[in-house]
Amino acid sequence: MKKFYIASSFQNIDMVREVSDILRQQGYVQTYDWTQNERAATLKELKRIGELEKEAVIEADFVIVLLPAGKGSHIEFGIALGHNKRIYLYSTNDDVNNPETTSTFYHLDNVVKVIGTVDDLIEKLR
């Protein structure tokens, strides 16, 4: 049973839920569903959520990053890189391959870039 974590921004919450639902229906286990949280209002809440998300990334067999993503997602991306996790970087456009808009870390060997539709992402995960 493979475990996954999805990193993204609140603006992508519907897509995160869609991908999570599909993967869980296929027998995958989500290590943490941050979409169930309200936006943190205190530093104590931020710390608690950060600890949960960090542990979820470490526990996952692979991490999915849905772009566009915010600073928290990129920190989770870094945690996954540091733990040598397979990372699936999803984008609807080819900006990840544009030298002016990409990150050096998007092109490391354990990062699989998926450009297209959510169906393309799900197919790549299979």
Q: What is the pLDDT of residue 98?
A: 93
Tokens found for residue 110: 């354990």
Tell me how far apart the alpha carbons of residues 49 and 69 are, in angstroms, rounded to a whole number. Answer: 17
Nearest to 106 by CA among 90, 122, 117: 90
Q: What is the pLDDT of residue 40?
A: 84
28-45 pLDDT tens trace: 999 999 999 888 889 999
Confidence of residue 7 (pLDDT cuts 50, 70, 90): very high
Nearest to 118 by CA among 48, 50, 55, 64: 64
CATH class of the domain whose range is 3-125: alpha beta
Tokens found for residue 4: 């996954």
What proportion of the chain, given as a percentage, has pLDDT over 90? 93
Q: What are the residue ranges spanned by the domains of the chain?
A: 3-125
10-30 pLDDT tens trace: 999 999 999 999 999 999 999
